[in-house]
Amino acid sequence: MQIELKNISYTYDGPIPVAALHNINLKVQTGEILGLIGHTGSGKSTLLQHLNGLLKPQEGDVLVDGKSVKNGEILLTKLRFRVGLVFQYPEYQLFEETIFKEVSFGPKSMGLKEEEIEKRVKQSLLDVGMGEEFYERSPFELSGGQKRRVALASILAMEPDILVLDEPTAGLDPRGRKEILDFLLKWRTDKRGIVLVSHNMEEMAPFAERIVVLHQGSIALDGTPEEVFYHAKELFDVGIKVPQISLVVNSLKTKGYNIDAGIFTVKEAAKAIYDALKDGGGRHGL
């Protein structure tokens, strides 16, 4: 599956219109993990809602496997089943009496048979680490991390091709964050893709295979983590907190040391500095 945003611009109406997106061109597809970063107000949430048809383009078009959303060539209901959108703090959107009913809601809305619904619910709950003992419990009795997993399971039960998550680890402790990210890595396959929004650059850098940086509604950078973090100073200048090691490495690079500016992990930096020492430390020496 491939979703292509072509020349997308979007403005929110109001006493003072707010331009959220400006001429966005972006391809998202199964088989990849795409990280989307940007400061508050950069247009991230607006972009996400174009991926599954919650927002229809005002200018430009969204193509799903070549079919136009704007021209009605693909049904929005089917698109929303194929592109599962998990909002920030999804636990606040839980509403059913039991966890089983909560996770059943999506598959039921797809018109599936009862046996298929039951199969999907059980599998998706199992995938997020919740067994039969949780089926009849109220989702409102759970911890924050458990609620997050139920909300994720409710989207997984629809078996989307692409999973779009807005700050999925926000507010979780380190263990909870690791559990969510480890699961997502296992869930992604050649036929499944992930789009993940996060402000935590330390978390995003080793997780995403491709990173898109939004700034004031436009795409500022698009590339591998190494390519994006090569521009650590530019990221810092547009209000994005980059891994501290990226700033250190970039500082060494600008001073003439023979070190790759795209490094963003301590392990890689340690090796690069060691190699520079072996080679004499670059132009100035270390």
**61 bridge partner residues:** 6
Q: How far separated are the first and last CA of the chain, in Å rounded?
A: 49
Cα gap 248→171, rounded to integer Å = 28
Question: 30: closest CA among 156, 160, 162?
Answer: 162
Strand order in the sheet with 2-12: 18-29, 2-12, 59-64, 67-68
**For position 260, what pLDDT does the model report?**
72
Task: State the chain's mean pLDDT as an integer.
Answer: 88
Q: What is the pTM of this model?
A: 0.86
Residue 282 has pLDDT above 60, yes or no: no
Cα gap 47→41, rounded to integer Å = 11
Which of 114-118, 125-129, 173-177 tops mean pLDDT? 114-118
Cα gap 6→67, rounded to integer Å = 12
Tokens read off for 221: 């950078």
- For the segment 23-70, what is each residue's pLDDT rounded down to a tens digit? 999 999 999 999 999 888 899 999 999 999 999 999 999 999 999 999
Extents of the domains making up the chain:
2-239, 243-286
**For position 281, what pLDDT does the model report?**
54
Q: Which CATH architecture has domain 2-239?
A: 3-Layer(aba) Sandwich (3.40)
- For the segment 239-280, what is each residue's pLDDT rounded down to a tens digit? 887 777 777 777 777 777 777 766 767 777 788 777 776 765
Mean pLDDT of 133-144: 92
CA-to-CA dists, residue 142 to 91, 123, 195, angstroms: 10, 19, 26
